[in-house]
């Protein structure tokens, strides 16, 4: 399947568009993914693909010497939990506890948004301007919904149309999704169509 294991495919799907755009636009020797502002500012790399909040100090330090393009356009960026089938099967209690903790965190975010924001700001050592700029761009929700499936399918089609894979058909990503644990904890959080 695309010559990659699913975790690699998901990671590739999340970043490939940005890397290709940067490479095509710059045609430089050095490019990569980094969150290190120093490497970028010092010229150790010519181009990077990163995301908020990591782009903020880089943008500040580069000032007028930097050019920033949105790599995702209007596409959503998903944070995805990935695990091997055998590990999930062998550790159902750990999976349940992890998802329960994330569900409690989501509930806290909904019920106490200001306190949650202050906790994140303090824990990540963000100044007021940084947290103010990134907080509204986030949707904090523990879900497994159809929009993720559609995004993965769109990325697969894009990869095929740009000859980035020898595959000729879009994989059924539902075959790689485990929904039972989340359904048990938060039934309404799962809205994928089977």
Confidence class for position 137, pLDDT limits 50, 70, 90: confident
Average pLDDT, integer, range 152-160: 87
In 3D space, the residue among 34, 27, 36, 73 whose CA is nearest the CA of residue 50 turns out to be: 34
Annotated domain spans of the chain: 6-189
**What average pLDDT does this structure show over 101-118?**
90
pTM over 0.75? The answer is no
Q: Is the pLDDT of residue 186 over 90?
A: yes
What CA–CA distance (Å, rounded) separates 34 from 144? 28
Q: What is the pLDDT of residue 125?
A: 84
Q: Which fold has domain 6-189?
A: D-Maltodextrin-Binding Protein; domain 2 (3.40.190)
Residue 82 confidence (pLDDT): 82
């Amino acid at each position: 399947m695309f010559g990659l294991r699913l975790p690699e495919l998901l990671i590739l799907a999340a970043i490939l568009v940005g890397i290709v755009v940067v490479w095509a636009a710059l045609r430089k020797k050095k490019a990569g993914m980094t969150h290190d502002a120093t490497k970028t500012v010092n010229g150790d790399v010519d181009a990077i693909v990163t995301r908020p909040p990591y782009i903020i100090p880089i943008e500040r330090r580069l000032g007028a010497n930097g050019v920033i393009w949105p790599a995702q356009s209007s596409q959503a960026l998903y944070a995805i939990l990935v695990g091997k089938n055998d590990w999930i099967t062998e550790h159902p209690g750990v999976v349940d506890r992890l998802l329960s903790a994330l569900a409690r965190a989501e509930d806290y975010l909904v019920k106490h948004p200001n306190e949650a924001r202050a906790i994140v700001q303090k824990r990540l050592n963000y100044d007021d301007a940084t947290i103010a700029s990134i907080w509204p761009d986030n949707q904090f929700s523990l879900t497994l919904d159809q929009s993720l499936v559609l995004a993965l399918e769109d990325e697969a089609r894009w990869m095929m149309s740009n000859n980035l894979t020898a595959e000729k058909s879009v994989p059924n990503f539902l075959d790689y999704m485990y929904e039972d644990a989340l359904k048990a904890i938060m039934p309404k959080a799962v809205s994928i169509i089977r």
